[in-house]
Chain A
Amino acid sequence: MSNHNRYESSRYGNAEHSDALSIANAVKSGETSAVAVVDQHLAAIDAGEAEIHAFNLVLADEALAAAAKIDQQVIAGEDVGPLAGVPVAIKDNMCTQGVPTTCSSKMLVGWKPPYNATVVERLAAAGAILIGKTNMDEFAMGSSTENSAFGVTKNPLDTSKVPGGSSGGSAAAVAAGFAPLALGSDTGGSIRQPAALCGVVGMKPTYGAISRYGLIAFASSLDQIGPFSHTVADSAALFEVIGGHDPRDSTSIPTPVASVSAGLKSGVDGLRVGIITELMGTGDLDGFEPEVLAQTRAAAEALEAAGASVAEVSVPSVIYGLSAYYQIAPAEASSNLARYDGVRYGVRQEGSGNTASMMMATRTTGFGDEVKRRIMLGTYALSAGYYDAFYGKAQRVRTLMINDLAKAYADFDVLLTPTSPCVAFDIGATSDPLTMYLNDVCTIPSNLAGHPSISVPYGTGQGGLPVGVQVLAPLQGEAVMFQVAAELERSVSAAEAVAQNGAQS
């Protein structure tokens, strides 16, 4: 059985159109209705959700009502937006007015935000339909979605495996056919790594390209929202819908969103592609599966065949990314998560009768172990006497990495690495936190630098599980990044077509 067939067989239901742009076109043209589209996806969820557990909350009634409204607008000849009738699943750390938003934490059970995240407003304005809130590692801390307070999400391609994390629910929802589009958040790889493990496209934009207003913070200087989809074009379209300046986020880049869809068919002729030597398992970093490295090289060769020039490039400081990240992200998290104290919202655990003990009891019972670990790590990194050696140093290493990447971009338009050192691993197999952290080694540099990067499915590795190849670009380099990703997608389709023909003959 070819990769492609395996990939198809992972889907529940049998929606006529599987990609978002086709769905939107069909809805706008009247070929199908938004209600029918939502019905098909709800049917898929009915069929598979019990097994996969991609969602914390499915918004069936709300989605059908929103779809009916879109259909009325289509009939009335109104402009219904570029994603008309397209179901979108969003990670449960994005605020939805009046709809529970939990971050997969006991801490926020029962809390309904009184406002919508900017991305939620922009999805609605584009005609997209919110179909559910997806499971995640608690407060986005994890690489397997095993840290959810509400149970693990399973990888739709092999339910004994994790979907990756922390946006595992969103990746699984797209892979399982529950929604053609999903939103995740990516602080150290939390979109790209699960996209790779679930065989879908996942993209983290330039820091500041998409508003964080309404995204419940993990690490504010690293967090970005981004799309999941089956196709590169869908992710590009979703990025264009939710990106662009938002005055409610001080770190939002004050320019309109980059136009990225237009260049998807431009090819890569003449582009310069650099493979980061240090992230090809050749240096100090080990744990890279040979199949993952082989697929990454195959991807580079495919780009070369399409006219790009390809060479290896050394970015020495990327190997320090993990260490810097595990100072900076927990430090910011320790402060961002201080507000969960039982005083204003969420759960409250009474203590021994005074406010201080109530606050401590609430935090002690409300947070899971991984969240506690990171809060303590970050508190330590910021505390008196350690700041300079830990947090301060990590911020300087961050600068070093930005400088090294800038040098690489003097000679290359994009950089290429594996997305994850390994394919999807067994649920429950990784109990040691540090081993889990090592999953993020290839994705972290883009977060520290604020650069965009995208994971594109590229063949399979151990156990026939998908491999993701990551395309990195400099600040605001989304257009060229998508251009290269589209070429990779074309080459993998061609390869699968050949493989399928081979299997049939």
Chain B
Amino acid sequence: MSKSRAQSLSRDEVAKVASLALLELTDEELATFTEQLGAVLAHAKDIEALDVGDVEPTSHPYPLVNIFRTDVV
């Protein structure tokens, strides 16, 4: 399923992402953004090699549970 980061980002992918984000890009912008975002993703290749299979993901840095509000207007 996952795309190898060795491939750089394609224009079509950027166009699709822009459409998902409700952003309209000119052809020129599409070219610039494709290159810039591709460079950022290429830099992020360093974590590709990391073996994190047995590491749990962190979505909150401070672990809290059951934070509730009373049902009062």
Contacts and interface: CB of A to CB of B under 8 A. Distances in A.
Given A359-B22, A383-B20, A221 B1 contact: no
Say what secondary structure dominates the interface of chain B. loop
A374 to B, nearest CB: 9
Given A380-B17, A396-B56, A253 B22 contact: no
B64 A251 contact: yes
B20 A433 contact: no
A376 B21 contact: yes
A375 B36 contact: no
Contact of B37 (A221, A376, A389, A399): A376
A64 B46 CA distance: 53
B33 to A, nearest CB: 6
A250 B68 CA distance: 8
A324 B37 CA distance: 15
A450 B61 contact: yes
A363 B22 contact: yes
A294 interface: no
A184 B11 CA distance: 36
Nearest to A367: B23
Contacts of B31: none
A402 B59 CA distance: 12
B57 A399 contact: yes
B73 to A, nearest CB: 15
Contacts of B20: 379, 383
Contact of A475 (B47, B52, B62): B62
B33 A372 contact: yes
A338 B23 CA distance: 11
B56 A399 contact: yes
A379 B57 CA distance: 19
Contacts of B69: 247
A372 B44 contact: no
A207 interface: yes
A383 B61 CA distance: 23
Interface string A313-333: 000000110111011000000
B62 A320 contact: no
A220 to B, nearest CB: 10
A16 B45 CA distance: 53
Contact of B67 (A250, A364, A377, A437): A250
Interface residues of B, number: 39
Contacts of B61: 207-208, 221, 402, 448-451, 475
B3 A386 contact: yes
A389 B52 contact: no
Contacts of A373: 33, 36-37
Contacts of A363: 21-23
A449 B61 CA distance: 6
Nearest to A356: B22
Nearest to A365: B24
A385 B2 CA distance: 5
B13 A380 contact: yes
B64 A400 contact: no
A251 B21 contact: no
Contact of B22 (A320, A360, A433): A360
Contacts of B22: 338, 341, 359-360, 363-364
A316 B41 CA distance: 21
Contacts of A377: 37, 40-41
A360 B37 contact: no
Contacts of B56: 396, 399
Contacts of A449: 61
Nearest to B49: A320
A397 interface: yes
Interface centre among A376, A395, A433 (most CB of B within 10 A): A376
Nearest to A475: B62
Nearest to A317: B50
Contacts of B14: 376
B72 to A, nearest CB: 12
Contacts of B48: 389, 393
A449 B62 CA distance: 9
13 contacts: A207-B61, A221-B59, A221-B60, A250-B67, A254-B67, A338-B22, A341-B22, A364-B24, A376-B14, A385-B2, A396-B57, A433-B36, A434-B39
User: Across chains A and B, which 5 residue pairs bring their CB atoms closest together, nearest first?
Assistant: A450-B61, A395-B57, A389-B2, A396-B52, A323-B44
Interface of A: 206-208, 221, 247, 250-251, 253-254, 284, 319-320, 322-324, 326-327, 334, 338, 341, 359-361, 363-364, 367, 372-373, 375-377, 379-380, 383, 385-386, 388-390, 392-400, 402-403, 432-434, 437, 448-451, 475
